[in-house]
Structure 1
Amino acid sequence: MARIERVEILKVPLAPKTARTDAIQSFVCQETIILRIHDADGAVGAGYSYTIGTGGSSILALLADHLAPRLIGAEAEAIESMWSDLKFHTHATTVGAITSLALAAIDTALWDLRARRAAMPLHLLAGGARKSIPLYTTEGGWLHLSEDALIEETLEARRQGFSGAKIKIGKPSIAEDMRRLEAVRDAVGPRFEIMTDCNQAFRVDEAIRRARQMEALDIAWIEEPLPADDIAGHVRLSALTSLPVAVGESIYSIRHFRDYMQQGACSVVQVDVARIGGITPWLKVAHAAEAFNLAVCPHFLMELHVALACAVPNGRWVEFIPQLDDITASGMTIENGHAIPSEEPGLGIDWDWDAIDARRDSYFDIRRPG
C-alpha cells in the first residue's frame, strides 16, 4: 500500500471514424479525459472518461480544481472511501453527468493502479466470471444510412462473426422504421440478433405503438425508448410489450437503477462505467441486476467494458464501437465474435502515451507540495 503523490489530467479529442447519427443528435467528437495517478512507490494507474462533444472543459475544471487535489496524500487502496468522500465533496452537483464523468476518471485510474500493484487483470480482480463475452456492433446501424447500406453493413457484420447488430430507429413514421428493420431481418435471417435504439426520442404513446409493431420481428431489445427520468413511462411500456426494454447509458445513480429494477421498468441493464461514476458503482449496479435476474449489456467504452462484463455472471453483450484506436498501441482481442479480456495487469488498455501527448489539448499536473 502507498500514498498518492501526483495526479495528471489530460484531454484528448478523438473524431469518430464513421458518421454517427441517431434520432436526436450526431456524435462529432469524443472528448477523452485521461487521468494518471502516481503513488509513493512509483506505481502508476491510468483511467479515463469521455463526452460526445460537449462538457469536457467542465470535467477538467472539476477534476483539477476540486477532486484531484483531495487525492494527494490519500491511501491509493482505499478506493471505496475515496469514491464516497469525493461524491460527498461534490454533493451539490450530484447526481449528474459532469460529476459522474469526473469521478469515473479517478475511479478507473485507482482500479488500474490496484490491479497493476496486484499483478492481476481487471476481469479477474473484479470477479472473473467468464473468459469471453459476445459482441454486437453499432457501427453499421446509424440512422442516416440508406436501407441498402443498412443491409450491406449488417450482412458484413455477420460475415465478420458478430452475433448481433444495433439499428438506430426514430424516423418520422413507424412505417419508415419498420421498412428498414424488416429489410434487415429478411437479409440476416432469424438467428441473428437485431437490437434497436431510440435514444430517448419518444413519448410513451409512440413508444408503445412502435414496440408493438416490432414484436413480430423478434427484436432483441428496444433501447432508451423514453427520457431516462421517466420511470413511470418505462413501467407502462414494459407492461404493454413483449420486447425487452433496455436502459442505462443516461442513468447516473445506483439508486436510479434500483428504482428501475424494483418497478419492473427494464429487462436489460446498460450501465456505462463512465456515466455511473466508475468501476466501484458499476459493479454494484451489475450485482444488483443479478439479484433481479437481469442481463448487463454495458453502453460504449468496449475497451474497458470487456473486462467488467467478463467479471460478473450476468454479463451478456459488449457493444462494438471502437474509439481508442488512435491512442492505443494494440486493440481489443476478438475471436469468433467474442471479445477476450486482456490478461495484462490493469484495465487491459494498451495506451500509446506518445500518441496521447501529441494529440492532447489540455494538461494539468497536481503534486504533493514540496
Structure 2
Amino acid sequence: MITEEHVATASRPSELRITDLRVATLTGVPFRSSIIRIDTNQGLSGYGEVRDQASATYALLLKSRLVGENPCNIGKIFRKIKQFGYHGRQGGGVSGVEMALTDLAGKAYGVPAYALLGGRFRDEVRCYADTPAVADPHAMGARLLERKQRGFTMLKMDVGIDLLWDVPGALIAPPGARADVTTMHPFTGIQVTARGVDHLVSYVDIVRSVLGYDVALAADHFGHIALDSCIRIGRALEPFTLAWIEDLIPWQLTGQWRRLTDAVAVPTCTGEDIYLLDGFRPLLDTGAIRVVHPDPATAGGIAETKRLGDYAQECGIPMALHLAASPIATMACVHLAAATENFLALEHHAADVEFWSDLVTGPLIRNGHITVPDTPGLGYGDLDEELLRRHLDPRDPVFFAETTHWDKETSHDRLWS
C-alpha cells in the first residue's frame, strides 16, 4: 500500500508548470525596479527583479516562451531565453526571470536557493554601503562614518570630475562636455589637470581623516575621461588604500583596462554592465582587472553569475556584486554570494531608504551583514503588498496587472539554420 502520510505534497516538481508572468513596477527602492512574479499550476509563485531603471518589457516579452515550461528546469529554460538579453539594462529581463525560476525551484524542492548552487561557503553575507556624492569632503566623511557606526565594514563613495567642474583650472574640456553622457570616455576630450588631481587627493584625504582606516573604502563614478587621466588619478590615490577604483573606462576596452591595471597599485574593478560569462572572459583571461564586479540582474541571474565567480577564481580574481535593488534581487544575491567562494561584498544602495527592509519579512541587514536563510527559495519571507502598492510607479500603477496581451508574442527564435 502506498501512503503519502509522511510525504510533503505541497508541490509535485515533475508536474509543475508555468501558467503566468506578471510585473509590478516600483520607484524609490532605491530607483525604479520591476518585480517579476511567475505563477504555476500548483499555486506556487516565484519572484525575481528586473535590473534597476530597466524596462519591464525585457521580461514581459519572455512570457510566451515560459508558459507551459517546468520552472525547475532552470538550465533548459535559460538556454532558451538567454538570446533575448544583452549588456547593460537589456540583460535585466532574462536575469530577473532566472531569479524567479530559482525561487520557484527552491520552493518546489523545499530547499534554499544556495542548495541548488552546490551549497554555501558562509553563513553571513557582507554588504557594502554605497554613498552618493557630496561636494564637501567633511560632509561625505560624516555620512560614511554614520554608515560605519551602523555596522558596515565596507563603504563606497563617488570621486570624480563631478567634484571638479566648478574648480578653476581642474579640467580641460570642450564646450558641451559636461552635458554629454553618451560619448565613450576616450572620445570626450575631457582631461584632468594636475590641479584637478590634487583636489581629488585632498578630498579623499579629508574623508579618510574623518572615517579612519579600519574600514574598507571603494571609489566610483570618476567620469567620462580618457586613460591618461585615469592613470594619473589612480596613482595619486594609492596612499589611501582604497578597496578598488571602479568603472574608470568602458568595460569593452580590454586593452586599456590592462594598461590601467598595470600602471596603478590600486585594485581596478568593473563589470556591472556585462551580460553572461562570455562577456567577462576577455577581462579575466588577460588579467585586465583585479576585482570583477557583475550585477546579477544584468549578468544572467544567479547560476550564470555563480559560473562567472568560479571562473574568476580560477583566474585568481575575487568577485564583488553590484546591485541597486529591492530586497527581492538582494536575497537572490545573498544566495549567490553564499555559494561563491571568492565573493568579497554585496552592494547595498538603499541605506537611506527607510522603508526598504519593510517590503519583506525575511532577513534584514544587521551590522552590515545579511544572514543566509535556510527557508525554501530565495528566503525573502512574505511581501508587504500594501507597502509595495504605495510605492508603485505612477506611470504603471497597477499591481501585478494581467499580461494576456503578451501570451501570443512569438518569432522564429532559433539562431541557426
Q: TM-score, normalised by structure 1?
A: 0.86
Shift of 1:219: 1.1
CA contact (8 A) 1:7 1:35 kept: no
Superposition RMSD in Å: 2.3
Cα deviation digits, residues 183-211 of structure 1 (max 9, x gap): 12122322221111136633111110000
Cα deviation digits, residues 216-245 of structure 1 (max 9, x gap): 111111111111211111010001111111
Shift of 1:329: 2.9
1:261 aligns with 2:293: no
Q: Which amino acid aligns with 1:32?
A: S
Shift of 1:354: 3.3
1:169 aligns with 2:185: no
C-alpha change, 1:364 and 1:254, in structure 2 (3 Å) is farther
Q: How far apart in 2 are the matches of 1:239 and 1:98?
A: 30
Shift of 1:99: 3.7
C-alpha change, 1:13 and 1:81, in structure 2 (3 Å) is same
Identify the residue that residue 25 of structure 1 maps to in structure 2: none
Match of 1:355 among 375, 379, 387: 387
More deviation in 297-306 or 164-173? 297-306
C-alpha change, 1:9 and 1:284, in structure 2 (3 Å) is same
Match of 1:246 among 244, 257, 269: 269
Cα deviation digits, residues 54-73 of structure 1 (max 9, x gap): x42xx42x433x31111111
C-alpha change, 1:288 and 1:77, in structure 2 (3 Å) is same
More deviation in 255-264 or 43-52? 43-52
Q: How far apart in 2 are the matches of 1:121 and 1:5?
A: 20
What secondary structure, in the 3-state scheme, does the structure 2 residue paired with 1:229 have?
Answer: coil
Q: How far apart in 1 are the matches of 2:122 and 2:301?
A: 21
1:156 aligns with 2:146: yes
What secondary structure, in the 3-state scheme, does the structure 2 residue paired with 1:343 have?
Answer: coil
C-alpha change, 1:67 and 1:16, in structure 2 (3 Å) is closer
Q: How far apart in 1 are the matches of 2:81 and 2:359?
A: 29
Identify the residue that residue 356 of structure 2 maps to in structure 1: 325
Identify the residue that residue 375 of structure 2 maps to in structure 1: 344
Identify the residue that residue 222 of structure 1 maps to in structure 2: 245
1:305 aligns with 2:333: yes
Q: How far apart in 2 are the matches of 1:152 and 1:87?
A: 43
Q: How far apart in 1 are the matches of 2:89 and 2:272?
A: 14
Identify the residue that residue 191 of structure 1 maps to in structure 2: 214
Q: Which amino acid aligns with 1:249?
A: E
Consecutive unaligned residues of structure 1, counting only runs of 5 or more, are: 18-29
Q: How far apart in 2 are the matches of 1:331 and 1:152?
A: 30
Shift of 1:364: 3.6
C-alpha change, 1:269 and 1:105, in structure 2 (3 Å) is same
Cα deviation digits, residues 256-304 of structure 1 (max 9, x gap): 2111101111111111111112113111111111211221110014443
Match of 1:9 among 19, 22, 27: 22
Q: How far apart in 1 are the matches of 2:27 and 2:357?
A: 8
Identify the residue that residue 99 of structure 2 maps to in structure 1: 108
Match of 1:85 among 71, 80, 86: 80
Identify the residue that residue 52 of structure 2 maps to in structure 1: 51
Match of 1:365 among 389, 392, 403: 403
Consecutive unaligned residues of structure 2, counting only runs of 5 or more, are: 1-13, 165-195, 409-417
C-alpha change, 1:359 and 1:135, in structure 2 (3 Å) is closer
Q: TM-score, normalised by structure 2?
A: 0.76
Q: How far apart in 1 are the matches of 2:135 and 2:141?
A: 10
Largest Rg, 1 or 2: 2
Identify the residue that residue 129 of structure 1 maps to in structure 2: 121
More deviation in 150-159 or 352-361? 352-361
Q: Which amino acid aligns with 1:264?
A: G
Q: How far apart in 2 are the matches of 1:146 and 1:9?
A: 44
Q: How far apart in 1 are the matches of 2:96 and 2:317?
A: 27
Shift of 1:312: 1.0
Q: Which amino acid aligns with 2:94?
A: L
Q: How far apart in 2 are the matches of 1:36 and 1:272?
A: 20
More deviation in 345-354 or 40-49? 345-354
Q: Which amino acid aligns with 2:156?
A: K
Cα deviation digits, residues 307-362 of structure 1 (max 9, x gap): 21111111111222226727713364334432212222111223223333454425
C-alpha change, 1:175 and 1:2, in structure 2 (3 Å) is farther
Q: Which amino acid aligns with 1:164?
A: M
CA contact (8 A) 2:51 2:89 kept: no
What secondary structure, in the 3-state scheme, does the structure 1 residue paired with 2:321 have?
Answer: coil
> How many pairs align?
345
CA contact (8 A) 1:166 1:195 kept: yes
